[in-house]
A = this chain, B = another copy of it.
Amino acid sequence: MKRTIYFKNKPCIIATSSIAGPKESEGCISKYIETRLDDDMFGESTFEKAETKLLYHALIGAMKNADKSEDEIDLIIAGDLLNQIIASTFSVRNFQIGYMGVYNACATFTESLTIGATLVDGGYLKNVVCGTSSHFSSAERQYRYPLELGSTRSPLAQWTVTGAGACVISNAKNGVKIVSATIGKIVDYGVTDPNDMGAAMAPAAADTIFTHFKESGLTPEYYDLIITGDLGTYGSRILKDILWEKGVDIESQHVDCGELVYNIREDEFQGGSGAGCSAMVFSAYFFRLLKERKLKRVLLVATGALLSSVSSQQGESIPSIAHAVGLES
């Protein structure tokens, strides 16, 4: 069994695009976000349609920033949190391009990068766009309660990011190189509280990061940053504790997109989450730092809680997963 793969030809992320809702646009990385909205409905009549438009905007934005026409793109790989990933379907419907839908909850972004990089690295395709999205309001009413109910939030809760991010992976040699990927496996420590997703996901992130270092022979110092997706404040602490107990200290390198995205004041509690969280933060912020060579090597580890409202109602715990992608400038 092997979970870490290496890309010999080092396909490049040549461009990204990011878009975020009003709350995210006021957060710490505000000035790096390409499109900042002041209306989370984005002019649409439903939250689901708003999310669809967000993802469409990110996909077409990434193609434009890569200076690629629709004709030059071979494939779109996309996913989101909605039932039957309809934000992806309905945004990609606007393109005359091949499409693969993927779903690993909030780990979908790095799953899509892994598949996209494989297809480009192996010479099967030339340009692949990968994108994911989430929307606070569409997620909240699907996974938890109707917003109109005004439910009190648990102090362990995270705030689903309203936003989307997309990347163009190309066989051209002028971007951020995708060097390796460690495919996650499902880890389930038996957490059953759907408000406590950081605790559910942290063991999966720890497993993937530990496996990455074990299989690659690298150490945390190799990377300038180890970026997790959306563990939040509490989940990040658990991750570092688990790894520390296994003899891997990532304290100096670790940063979490969920912790980074908001000015954490009140409602967000543990920080951001959602399939759009790591995609938007990476596309807006970390990609730029890599491109400007302010960062040389990072490990991007999106993390996903693979629950559904049905599985929770049937008493199941929350299996989680994390996929890691090694990036170099």
Residues B103 and A84 in contact, CB atoms below 8 Å apart: yes
Residues B86 and A311 in contact, CB atoms below 8 Å apart: yes
CB of A241 within 8 A of chain B? no
CB of A191 within 8 A of chain B? no
> Which of the listed residues A84, A118, A316 has the most CB atoms from chain B within 10 Å of its own CB?
A84
Residues B90 and A316 in contact, CB atoms below 8 Å apart: yes
Q: Which residues of B are found within 8 Å of A263, using beta-carbon distances? A: none
Give 15 new A-B contacts, CB below 8 A, not counting A97-B185, A100-B104, A118-B118.
A2-B74, A83-B84, A86-B310, A89-B186, A89-B306, A89-B311, A95-B186, A98-B183, A99-B185, A99-B321, A100-B111, A100-B115, A100-B183, A118-B119, A118-B122
Q: Which residues of B are found within 8 Å of A125, using beta-carbon distances? A: 2, 5
Q: Which residues of B are found within 8 Å of A81, using beta-carbon distances? A: 84
- Complex Cα gap A71–B185 (Å): 13
A75-116 CB contact bits vs B (8 Å, 1 = yes)?
A: 100010111111001101101111111111100000100110
Q: List 26 A-B contacts (CB under 8 A).
A: A1-B96, A1-B97, A2-B74, A3-B74, A48-B310, A79-B103, A82-B308, A83-B84, A84-B103, A84-B307, A86-B306, A86-B310, A86-B311, A89-B186, A90-B316, A92-B186, A93-B188, A95-B185, A95-B186, A98-B185, A100-B111, A100-B115, A101-B103, A101-B111, A102-B103, A115-B118
Residues B84 and A308 in contact, CB atoms below 8 Å apart: yes
- Complex Cα gap A49–B121 (Å): 38
Which listed residue, B3, B95, B314, touches A49 by the CB 8 Å rule? B314
Q: Report the copy number of this chain in the oligomer.
A: 2
With both beta carbons as reference points, the residue of chain B lying nearest to A81 in the complex is identified as B84
Q: Which residues of B are found within 8 Å of A316, using beta-carbon distances? A: 90
Which listed residue, B2, B3, B85, touches A103 by the CB 8 Å rule? B85
Residues B48 and A311 in contact, CB atoms below 8 Å apart: yes
Q: Which residues of B are found within 8 Å of A85, using beta-carbon distances? A: 103
A165-201 CB contact bits vs B (8 Å, 1 = yes)?
A: 0000000000000000001111010000000000000
